[in-house]
Chain A
Amino acid sequence: MPRVIIVLSLLLAAARAWAAPVTFNTALPVAKGNWVWREQLVARGRDDDTAFPDREARVLALSSVLGYGLSERFTLFGVLPYFGEKELRLSTGDGRITRGTAGPGDATLLVRYTAFQWNGQGRTLRVAPLAGVIAPTGDDGDRDRLGRLPRPLQPGAGSWGGLAGVVATYQTLGWQVDGQLAYRRQGTNEGFRPSTESHLDLSFQYRLLPRELGGGVPGFLYGVIESNLVHTDSDRLNGADLADTGGTQWFLTPGLQYVTRRWVLEAAVQLPVQQNMHAGALRDNYIAHVGFRVNF
């Protein structure tokens, strides 16, 4: 269903602020007292590869993030997604219909702690666990002309949730590697519990320009390639799994980033390589990310 994966992807992508993975976190620091403001537009297309009901799901979301360096090791992030479009098209006995809504989603408060750091000349290694709380700020009772929308189409889960993970980063002046393990679980509301998500992500970023470093602080252009392995359990309704939800997916994500002292521009697209979905579950065609970050 449309809700899965994008929730954790939005949240995890939120807490990075450097030359960094596009689809998940980094362990690099936000300086004490510094702020990072970030906006990322995410467009996602899915379908179920069936002749009937031939479902197509589209999500267009804007993730707004404010990060603050509490200390050299603790960073606090607030995340609020806004769904500009969250809709499902499917065939019925009465023809093809579209159901959907828009509005703010569930807000998240995320804390990251740099548990280990080693700094060398022009390089750094960091390991940072992170944990967050998801508050049910998004609507979970939106309706359209056909009545109340199915739960996975609602902007909010209607329940509290949490996420936890650990991220490691090794960064040099020429390239960077990041790896992350993360897990999100949502509570139950009116008998419905959204699927849990588990992520294993890897990212490699390579400085394309400038080829040679002179003096000062020039802007860096990075080429990015990421691997995202995602497992989602089934959504549950009244204690039973919903059959057409959940599965395991592997994405490769090429992208570009331009990084300066004060701002970052980035774009990447997650392309599915392997999808072992439960019977009837929607399959991704793409997840595109475009965004910017500002350091202040």
Chain B
Amino acid sequence: MLRKTLMVGALVTALAGAAVAGAQRYALQVKGLACPFCAYGIEKQLKKLDAVDAVRIDIGQGHVVVTAREGDSLSEAQLKQAVEDAGFTLSGIEELGDQD
């Protein structure tokens, strides 16, 4: 019984990992980002996009990593507009694919 439970658990974990690994991710380089309160403005603009699942910001480096929903993708124009609506400048974008 214990072995069966462990096997099911391992399978669920593997599937969850595969789901995360399958999501498209984008690394944005943002100029003008210099305080925590401003970071929330960018996060909120990006999360307004239906295809966005998660946003992670590294304020010290000006990096923003956007994870799309499973099966969705984002265009550069969408990401650029969201950053500009927050009052900042998108200076670079890199598709990270589905890698962690």
Contact = CB atoms under 8 A, between A and B. Distances in A.
Nearest to A125: B32
A71 B85 CA distance: 7
Contact of A18 (B35, B42, B62): B35
Interface in A29-50: 29-34
Q: What DSSP secondary structure best describes chain B's contact surface? A: mixed
A123 B35 contact: no
A260 B60 contact: no
B36 A217 contact: yes
Given A32-B85, A213-B59, A216-B59, A117 B37 contact: no
Contact of A31 (B36, B56, B60, B85): B85
A253 to B, nearest CB: 20
Interface residues of A, number: 41
Interface string A3-17: 000000000000001
Interface string B35-54: 11111111111001000000
Contacts of B41: 29-31, 34, 69, 295
A220 interface: yes
Nearest to A258: B36
Interface string A240-271: 00000000000000000001111010000000
24 contacts: A19-B37, A28-B38, A29-B38, A29-B87, A32-B85, A32-B86, A69-B41, A72-B84, A114-B87, A119-B31, A119-B88, A121-B91, A123-B34, A213-B60, A214-B60, A216-B56, A216-B58, A217-B57, A219-B36, A259-B36, A261-B36, A261-B40, A264-B37, A295-B37
A122 interface: yes
Interface string B5-36: 00000000000000000000000000111111
Q: What DSSP secondary structure best describes chain A's contact surface? A: loop
A260 B59 CA distance: 12
A33 to B, nearest CB: 7
Contacts of A31: 41-42, 44-45, 85-87
Contact of A220 (B36, B43, B56, B86): B36
Given A31-B86, A33-B48, A173-B59, A117 B32 contact: yes
Contacts of A72: 84-87
Interface of A: 17-19, 28-34, 69, 71-73, 114, 117, 119-124, 171-173, 176, 213-220, 259-262, 264, 293, 295
Contacts of A293: 37
Contacts of A262: 40
A122 B36 contact: no
A178 B58 CA distance: 25
Nearest to A173: B34
Contacts of B62: 121-122
